[in-house]
Amino acid sequence: MERKKLVELKTPAESKNLVLVLVNGDYPSVVYDEDDGVRVYTLRCPLQQKAFIKYLRPATVILQFHTLTELQQLLDMQLQKVIVSIEPGLLTLTAESTITFQLIRYLCQKYECDLICAREFDISEVKRIIELDFPIDPTCGESLYIPHSWDSWGKIVLHGRSVQEWAGVIRSEETLAQLDDTRLDDYLEKYVKTVEVEEPVRVPQTMDEFVRAVYEEKIN
């Protein structure tokens, strides 16, 4: 009786999804984590680690918003699937937050990125984010989710027309068309200015203080 060798057929292990999380920070750093289904690299100060980002060639990138200029520079790297994340604090109803939100949506349209609102980026939250199994919610809340395939210039303009008439809020597609050659942070700064608060005038409380204030005014 011939002995037959039993050959164990091993199927190659299914490759894990490689996710890159680019977050804000004061110093560059890299943190690695993984589980049965996903590998996650979390990078701080991503503009200083562009060579490493290109080397990793991630399947999905979660990009935490910091500034419009940084967002544009990172998106110019032509990464594959990008999900832009903004913090809930950005979604207050002010001129600055409204213009910033519109410009982020403009960039997400240009580079075909989805837009969400997120606070944490631990591995369980990262897995939830990359699945994008959320209902579409364009309102300015913590459940915000705007797929690039759903959004449009018309909807960005509609948002601008639905708020208070602050200077700089985008209310026409012509304005969006003119942003191609404009630094977006410069556009924001042009319309959002810090209002200087004048010191309150002190009212004299006694006759002596009144006489002294009149005397000093005559001298000056």
Q: How far apart are CA 149 and CA 95, in angstroms?
A: 26
* Report for 66-80, 172-186, 196-210: range of highest mean pLDDT: 66-80
Under DSSP, the state recorded for 67 is: -
- Which ranges constitute the DSSP H helices of 4-150? 50-56, 68-75, 95-111, 123-131
Domain containing residue 37: CATH number: 3.40.50
Residue 100 lies in a domain: yes
Output the CA angle 20-24-29, nearest 5 degrees.
65
| Torsion sign, CA atoms 56, 62, 66, 69 | positive
Enclosing domain of residue 85: 17-191
For the chain, percent of residues with pLDDT exceeding 70: 80
Residue 145 lies in a domain: yes
Residue 204 lies in a domain: no
Residue 2 lies in a domain: no
Is pTM beyond 0.95? Reply is: no
- Predicted confidence at residue 219, as pLDDT, reads 56
On the question of pLDDT at 201 being above 80, the answer is: no
Question: Strand, coil or helix: what is 47?
Answer: helix
2 beta partners: none
- Predicted confidence at residue 180, as pLDDT, reads 67
Both tokens assigned to 79: 């990464």
For the chain, percent of residues with pLDDT exceeding 90: 51
Per the structure, how many domains does the chain have? Answer: 1
On the question of pLDDT at 15 being above 70, the answer is: yes
Pick the closest to residue 150 from 138, 142, 160, 141 (CA basis). 138
- Predicted confidence at residue 218, as pLDDT, reads 53
Average pLDDT over residues 131-152: 89
On the question of pLDDT at 122 being above 60, the answer is: yes
Residue 133 lies in a domain: yes
Number of H helices, E strands in the chain: 8, 7
Residue 198 lies in a domain: no
On the question of pLDDT at 181 being above 90, the answer is: no
Residue 117 lies in a domain: yes
On the question of pLDDT at 136 being above 80, the answer is: yes
Average pLDDT over residues 6-34: 75
On the question of pLDDT at 1 being above 50, the answer is: no
Question: What DSSP string runs through 179-193?
Answer: TTTS-HHHHHHHH--
Residue 182 lies in a domain: yes
Average pLDDT over residues 192-218: 56
